[in-house]
Amino acid sequence: MALSPSAPSRSSPPGLVAFGIDVGSTSTKVVAIRVGPTGTDPSGFHSPRDDSPRDDSPRELRVHSFGTPADPTALLSLTADAVTALVDEVGQPATVGVASMAESGVLLDAAASALTDVVRWDGTVAPAALLEALGGGEARALHARTGIVASAKVPLVLWADLWARHPTLWERASRWVGVADLVVLAITGKAVTDPTLAVRTMAVTRPERPGEQVRFDPDLCARAGLETSRLPSIVPHDGWAGRAVSTAGFGALAPGIPIVVAGHDHVVAAWAVGARSPGSEVDSVGTSEAIVRLFTGPDVPATAFDEGMSVGIDVTGTLSTLIAGSAAAGRAVREWTTRGSAPAAAVSRVDAEDVLRPAESIVQPYPAGRQSPRPDPDATMTLDGRDPRDLDPARIAALTPALLDGLALHARWMRDAQTAVLGAPPTGDLVVVGRALGLDDPWLRRKAAAFGRPVLVPAVSEPVACGAAMLALERTVRPSAPPLPLREALVPTENAVAAYAAAFPRFLATATERTP
């Protein structure tokens, strides 16, 4: 996208600072990165494959985070405070990028004031709203049309629910914005969104050709009582949102700085760590987990929809994404450790690498159904036929390895199902992003053993927010940013791989015994 004459030049000198914002389900992260020669690297990170990393490697300078509040005004205030803190610490950025999960947003009135708290995908939407949004028994057809799994968490269904339960509120609403869009609107005064976020609303018909401009579908929106004019404008794949319009409006951010709505958190992270070619695979772990596989062309076998997977686009718009998702992951660990008396990391003290083995009984890690593979909305968290969360706290803590085993083996199941759908295994390294995972993390070590291959993790604490900053630089100032540096590979032992390979059929049999 050509920039206006007043925009920063793409021949700007190296050593650029950018800010990235990641509005997550649980927490919001605001980071500063630097790309280009900086002298001493304040982060202390380095590339695992090169003792002399490229001078233009992205480097995480500072991080501020806070729990994502339900109140939109509080969310914007806390984000502005974090941006101000970064300006005080590292100076004004060249640009700012904003990423988020796609399933949460806010209804605004004509004055752009919030009419609701942040509407979240919390599982409380009534099934009747889902049926109304889908127009009857069209779940499979709409899945194929939009690429998105028909479930109660997608915005199209959330809108239908609001329309059905709060018609007066719906009539007062002037616009819906996702949470990333909300932050961009506060800074620029423009209601815009990114193609990867728009696709996830289930209000977009999947593009037929790579690079095709994404548009909201009037027919799909009408199913939820919504006109497309009440949704944000969708910027092009290489576009950006606008400029910061005032210092008073958003902390200490200077006016005129380009602001970019970077996109859907999982695909932003995938691009940031180098998943930029067909066959690339990234395991993105947060409150939920998504295994993202890139492939060429918009066509995908129908079995992807049978397996509950979503088909979308990457941040460049040139590749398609096949995403197998699980709502468990960090959510399951958080619930578990809240009930137990020890954090999940504590098990690392008792399962040394050379004796790493699956537990005799493995937790089925489904706190609220299973999305993929073999979708089952009634799947539950069980251990030997009972809910382990009903046990006393000490016993729950002792069973933490069994939960982590279940999460790792379920991730392998998602990966295997993707390979079966696409007919080819992934290429390159497996990179796991999220949760600031370290190589001694017991969950990560089980994942490597279950996958039977080395895994790498980013050498930054917040890859999504860093990716948002990198995309902002890519689209406004400096193209062709290299990926984030990665830590050295975690290589599972042969014994651990064999042990988890032997446990996988047993886990799979238990997981599927009640589903066709």
The answer to whether the CB of 288 falls within 8 A of the CB of 268 is no
pLDDT tens-digit profile of 422-473?
999 998 888 999 765 565 688 888 999 999 989 999 999 999 999 999 999 9
Which three-class secondary structure state does DSSP give residue 18? strand
Please tell me whether residues 285 and 262 are part of one structural domain: no
Nearest to 244 by CA among 367, 84, 447: 84
Q: What is the pTM of this model?
A: 0.88
d(CA 249, CA 255) in angstroms, rounded, equals 10
* Domain boundary pick from 228, 246, 266: 266
On the question of pLDDT at 131 being above 90, the answer is: no
Q: What is the mean pLDDT of residues 11-31?
A: 83
* Domain boundary pick from 244, 266, 288: 266
Which residues span the domain enclosing 206? Answer: 16-266
On the question of pLDDT at 2 being above 60, the answer is: no
Please tell me whether residues 353 and 248 are part of one structural domain: no
CATH number at residue 339: 3.30.420.40
Please tell me whether residues 202 and 326 are part of one structural domain: no
Please tell me whether residues 381 and 451 are part of one structural domain: yes
Asked if residue 480 is part of any domain, the answer here is no
pLDDT tens-digit profile of 484-507?
999 878 899 999 999 999 999 999
In the chain, the number of structural domains is 2
Higher pLDDT, 83 or 240: 83
- Element containing residue 402 per DSSP (H, E): helix 400-422
Asked if residue 478 is part of any domain, the answer here is no
Please tell me whether residues 410 and 498 are part of one structural domain: yes
Which three-class secondary structure state does DSSP give residue 331? helix
The pLDDT value recorded for residue 124 is: 63
Tell me the C-alpha to C-alpha distance, in Å, between residue 343 and each of 401, 404, 406: 11, 12, 17
Higher pLDDT, 243 or 324: 324
Average pLDDT, the chain: 84
On the question of pLDDT at 352 being above 60, the answer is: no
Nearest to 363 by CA among 502, 503, 492: 503
Asked if residue 406 is part of any domain, the answer here is yes
Q: What is the mean pLDDT of residues 185-195?
A: 93
Banded model confidence at residue 46, pLDDT cuts 50, 70, 90: very low
Banded model confidence at residue 160, pLDDT cuts 50, 70, 90: confident
Higher pLDDT, 386 or 243: 386
On the question of pLDDT at 141 being above 60, the answer is: yes
On the question of pLDDT at 80 being above 70, the answer is: yes
Please tell me whether residues 241 and 364 are part of one structural domain: no
Please tell me whether residues 199 and 283 are part of one structural domain: no
Q: What is the mean pLDDT of residues 153-167?
A: 86
What are 185's two structure tokens? 């609107």
The pLDDT value recorded for residue 399 is: 86
d(CA 398, CA 351) in angstroms, rounded, equals 12
pLDDT tens-digit profile of 197-249?
999 999 999 887 777 889 999 999 998 889 999 999 999 887 766 666 654 56
* Domain boundary pick from 266, 286, 315: 266
Q: What is the mean pLDDT of residues 366-392?
A: 87
Please tell me whether residues 102 and 239 are part of one structural domain: yes
Q: What is the mean pLDDT of residues 62-71?
A: 96
What are 495's two structure tokens? 């014994």
| H helix intervals, 61-202 | 72-90, 127-134, 139-146, 155-165, 167-172, 179-188, 195-199
Q: What is the mean pLDDT of residues 59-82?
A: 96
Asked if residue 471 is part of any domain, the answer here is no
